[in-house]
Chains A and B, each alone.
Chain A
Amino acid sequence: MVAGVASGIARHLGIPPVRVRIAFVVLLPLSGLGLLLYAAFWAVLPLQVRTAAAPPRRNFMHLLPFIAIGLGLLLVQTLAFGFGALGVTGLAGWLVAIIAVGAGIIWHESDPERRRQWSETLPRVPWLGAVVDESDRRAFLLRFIGGGVLVSVGIIGVVAVYSPAENFGAVINGIIFALVGLAGVAVVAGPVLWRTYNQLRTEREGRIREMERAELAAMVHDQVLHTLALIQRNAADVKAVQRLARGQERSLRNWLYKPIASPTERFAAALEQAAAEVEDTYAITVETVVVGDRETDERVGALVAAAREALVNAARHAKVQTVSLYAEVEPDQLSVFVRDRGAGFDPSTVEDHRHGVRGSIIGRMQRHGGRAKIISEPGDGTEVRLFLPTSRESVSTGKDGS
């Protein structure tokens, strides 16, 4: 009709606006209750209802305050009619209406969505936006205080109207009205506090996300972009490109999936590092599979060194792109297998020209109580098998044997 209150309520409740208007008119003779309700609802009903894209979660919040205030008004009316003092009733009703209007002002002005809308309408002139924002904040404060004053005046007025009466019940009524007023304020302030709390939380989450993003960006910048630049510069050199890509792949994988374990402390990490070094140096791929894990010591370190030597041999002599490395931590021994499908060789001739195999692999394993076995056939690849006993008995017998 006048401020679109009836249609607004109707839209909220999902009934034709005519009925709401009729309800207002019917309530009008009851010492102006219809008018009071209309004023109260005008104050409380958010302007946003008119904008198309109001966030749905707020509808519930919209509904609460004016139901509470409407109920408060009805309570005032019925209780006052019980005492029959029409003048007092009317006065009390108007005072409560003042409370409602004050609360409504607070509700309207504390709506952060509207303030954001205002600043968004001025994207070209941010300084003006800032001015508007600033003045808006001041106005918001002023109106908030004004609304608060109205609410207080209304409550005090209600109590003042009723307390002079000698009737004890009237005083209780006064207190009840005061409580109703307070409840109204709580209903109005509650959502604001809740929104503020949510805003703060969102902000904190945003900061954490921003930190994570910065960390990721730093990693991408330091490693990935650097590697891509190197790949472009070395595009003609297939080996170099392969090495760069593989190295980058490994480091990204570690970053994504692996908990950081120190190669100086853990067997699996030490093996993986050895494999990585061989990959980097010889531009091959080492398919590393490690089952189980344990701490390293001097003997385990020797096993890793022997495995590394086997990988280096495969990389240098097998003439293949891929070497398999498999290690398993068994209850009483560590076993490592290095296998390639490359050129292979005749083991009977190995002593003549490959001292690396004899000294760094077989000899090293024997010195530390383990054993090594090399299986190879020309044209059929090579497998180096390394075993290191770990339980006490087998260690001592191994040492006795060496």
Chain B
Amino acid sequence: MTDQAEERRLRVFLVDDHAMFRAGVRAELGVHVDVVGEASSVTEAVSRIAALEPDVVLLDVHMPEGGGRAVLDAMRRTHPQVRFLALSVSDAAEDVIGLIRAGARGYVTKTISPDELAAAIRRVAEGDAVFSPRLAGFVLDAFAARPDAPVADPELDQLTNREREVLRLLARGYAYKEIAKELFISIKTVETHVSNVLRKLQMSNRYELSRWAADRRLV
């Protein structure tokens, strides 16, 4: 993965209302990627992201004026090539699910190590998804096979057994490489599975998902 980074340094934009956190991330990521800009508010973020067109935006979930969700809503239609990775101290299900459904391609907590964060940014930039162990757990919970829950669209509302296995290993703290080894599949296949889960998470109308979204008035 490091030689990929050498080929072309990714352009990353930070959105967080805590200046200290931005400074910390900028310092940690400086060796891996180009931090091309930062913003501390929703309006500032929207205008500067539109001007700079970075590869990946690291997006804080909780900010004044609507938080990361507001930035996503403003940018997603006009700048579909910009990828968003949500970054938050919160592990609450409704925050995680809400941001993903608004269009973020991944979610990591702020306690993530710099190397892992750089790897997550690279993965998101390549169009794949990034799930923290906890997000994987939420998804397993939300898509749990419940006999009483009606399934409107099996393609979107259910996970395949393989996807379930991949998510379980993610929740157990396995890296993609380790998952590939454990399941005797390629890393690319693992990435495909996770991306498919992300798509289901964004498109499915399962009750649990809409409930979480409704808790945050995201419907």
Contacts and interface: CB of A to CB of B under 8 A. Distances in A.
A4 to B, nearest CB: 43
A291 B133 contact: no
A339 B173 CA distance: 7
Contacts, number: 39
A342 to B, nearest CB: 12
Contacts of B141: 291-292
Interface string B162-186: 0000001001111000000000000
In which size bucket is the chain B interface?
10 to 19
B173 A291 contact: no
Contacts of A256: 92
A29 B92 CA distance: 76
B137 interface: yes
A24 interface: no
Nearest to A337: B172
A294 to B, nearest CB: 13
A314 to B, nearest CB: 11
B144 A324 contact: no
Contacts of A383: 172
A194 interface: no
Contact of A289 (B92, B133, B174): B133
Contacts of B91: 253, 257
A339 B172 contact: yes
Query: B90, B111, B172 — which one has the most chain A CB atoms within 10 A of its CB?
Result: B172
Interface string B58-79: 0000000000000000000000
A292 B144 contact: yes
A326 interface: yes
Contacts of A337: 172
Interface size, A (range):
10 to 19
A71 to B, nearest CB: 45
B200 interface: no
B108 to A, nearest CB: 12
Nearest to A285: B111
A324 B178 CA distance: 14
B193 interface: no
B151 interface: no
A272 to B, nearest CB: 12
A325 to B, nearest CB: 9
A291 B208 CA distance: 13
B136 A289 contact: yes
A291 B172 contact: no
A68 B1 CA distance: 80
Interface in A90-139: none
B213 to A, nearest CB: 16
Contacts of B92: 256-257
Contacts of B144: 291-292
A276 to B, nearest CB: 14
Nearest to B144: A292
B168 A328 contact: yes
Given A289-B136, A291-B137, 5 more contacts: A257-B92, A287-B173, A289-B133, A291-B144, A339-B173
The 5 A-B pairs of least Cβ separation, nearest first, read A324-B173, A289-B137, A326-B172, A257-B92, A337-B172
Interface of A: 253, 256-257, 285, 287, 289-292, 324, 326, 328, 337, 339, 341, 383
9 contacts: A257-B90, A285-B111, A289-B171, A291-B137, A291-B171, A326-B171, A326-B173, A341-B173, A383-B172
